[in-house]
A = this chain, B = another copy of it.
């Protein structure tokens, strides 16, 4: 199997695993009133150490402002986060976790740890780390390749 074939197989597996992971995250948090996406927003706010604006949370997550904005609106309607006035910016309110939000996030985190322990039972930690390193390296190469020019124009 050539390098290209091996890479193609890995890419297809990443797609499948991504779908399976999102489904698992949804199932894991459904009865908390969360989803994978909502959980991710709560995590960004909880782990930031300081209140974030919507745009700041989006940067922290690698998503767009707009995607985060919609999730924050929903989370605020459900009482998981609140929007506090920002002394530094009149329009850009600060997103903070409510008590409900903190509870839900902590519960989700606990479940995720138990779940991760369960599904990686047969895996060597070193293998997990090696794969993470490879995927990270691959993504870095991929982003470099995107920047360095669209190949369809060049060739």
Binding site for B on A (CB under 8 A): 1-4, 6-11, 13-21, 23-24, 27-28, 30-31, 62, 111-123, 125, 127-132, 134-139, 141-143, 145-146, 149-153
- The answer on a CB contact under 8 Å between A129 and B1 is yes
Number of copies: 2
- The answer on a CB contact under 8 Å between B138 and A119 is yes
Interface of A is mostly: helix
Minimum Cβ distance to chain B for residue A4 (Å):
5
Given A62-B16, A131-B134, A135-B17: A120 and B30 interface contact (C-beta under 8 Å): no
Q: Which B residues touch A120, using CB under 8 A?
A: 3-4, 6-7, 138, 141
